[in-house]
Structure 1
Amino acid sequence: MQRLRDLPKFMSRRCHCAGTPTSTTNGNYSMNICGCLAHVAPDHTSAAARVMKDTQGVEIHAETEDGRFVVVVEDTPSRLASEIIMDLHQIPGVISLTLTYHHFEDPADAHPQPDAPSPTPSRRPTQ
C-alpha cells in the first residue's frame, strides 16, 4: 500500500510520459496524467504486459508476482486517457483496472484572461 501512496512522487521522478502536453480543441496544450492499478490473472500477465507496453500513452512502472501493475496513462494526440483506460479493461486477463491518481493541467487556467472567449466545454480531440 505504501508504494501506491508514493505513486505521485514516483511518477514525477521517473515517468517518461508524464508531462507530455497534448493539444486541446482550443489550441492550448494540456497535461492529463492518470495513475492506475491493474490486476491481471496470473496466467495472462506476460501477454497483458506486452499489450500495455505496445499501447501509445501507456507506461508500466511496477509489476508484482501476483499480477498487479502500476500503470500510467496519458492523453495522446489522437485519444483521451479515459478512452485508453477503457481499452485496457478489454485486454484478455485483466480482472480490474482502477484509477488511483489523476492530475490535469491546462496552461490557460494558470494565466486567466478576462477578455478571452470561453473555450469549448469539451477537451476531446477533434478528428
Structure 2
Amino acid sequence: MRLNRFVQEEIARPLAGPAAAGHNICGVLVHADPARLTAARAALLALPGVEIHQEAADGRLVVTIEDADGTPAALTLSKLTELEGIASAALVYHHCETDAQSEEMPS
C-alpha cells in the first residue's frame, strides 16, 4: 500500500527542530459518524499540524495536515482512523518540498 510506504519514509526522515510551514502538507477527506461529529472534530484538532477547513452535516470534513514539531504529517495521517467517530480518511493531495529542491529551482 502506498500510504504505508509514505508513512515509513516520512518517519525515517529526521525532523531537525520545527518543520518549516508548508514544508510537507497533506490534503485529506475525512468521513466521520454524523452522530459523533463533535467528538471527531475535537479529536482531529487535538492532533499536531491538523486544520479543518470545511465540514458537512453528513460527517465529511476537509482537513490539512502539516509537519509539526517532531511529528511528521505522515504519522499524524496514519492515526486519523484510530480517532473516536472517524470512519475513514483518504489522502487526496500531498506536497513535500525539501530544502534541496528549493535550492535547485531557478529564481
Which band: TM-score by shorter chain? 0.7 to 0.9
107 and 91 in structure 1: CA distance in 2 versus 1, 3 angstrom threshold: same
Match of 1:48 in 2: 40
Structure 2: where are the runs of 5+ without partners?
Answer: 1-12
**TM-aligned CA deviation for residue 55 of structure 1:** 1.6
Please identify which structure carries the higher helix content. Answer: 2
Aligned-pair Cα RMSD in Å: 2.1
Cα separation, 2, equivalents of 1:65 and 1:97: 17
Which aligned segments of 4 or more residues in structure 1 are displaced greater than 2 angstroms?
Answer: 24-27
Cα separation, 1, equivalents of 2:96 and 2:42: 27
Residues 54-87 of structure 1: per-residue CA shift (max 9 Å, x gap)? 2220000000010000000011121111110111
2:48–2:71 Cα contact (<8 Å) kept: no
Match for residue 63 of structure 1 among 50, 55, 68: 55
Structure 1: where are the runs of 5+ without partners?
Answer: 1-23, 113-127
2:51–2:63 Cα contact (<8 Å) kept: yes
Cα separation, 1, equivalents of 2:31 and 2:45: 15
TM-score (norm 1): 0.63
Task: Indicate yes or no: 2:103 matched with 1:111.
Answer: yes
Percent sequence identity over matched residues? 36
**RCO comparison, higher one (Cα < 8 Å, 6+):** 2
Task: Indicate yes or no: 2:69 matched with 1:77.
Answer: yes
SS at match of 1:95: strand
Cα separation, 2, equivalents of 1:59 and 1:26: 20
**TM-aligned CA deviation for residue 44 of structure 1:** 1.0
Bigger Cα Rg: 1
Q: How many residues align?
A: 89
2:43–2:84 Cα contact (<8 Å) kept: no
Task: Indicate yes or no: 2:89 matched with 1:97.
Answer: yes
Residues 35-67 of structure 1: per-residue CA shift (max 9 Å, x gap)? 000000111100010111122200000000100
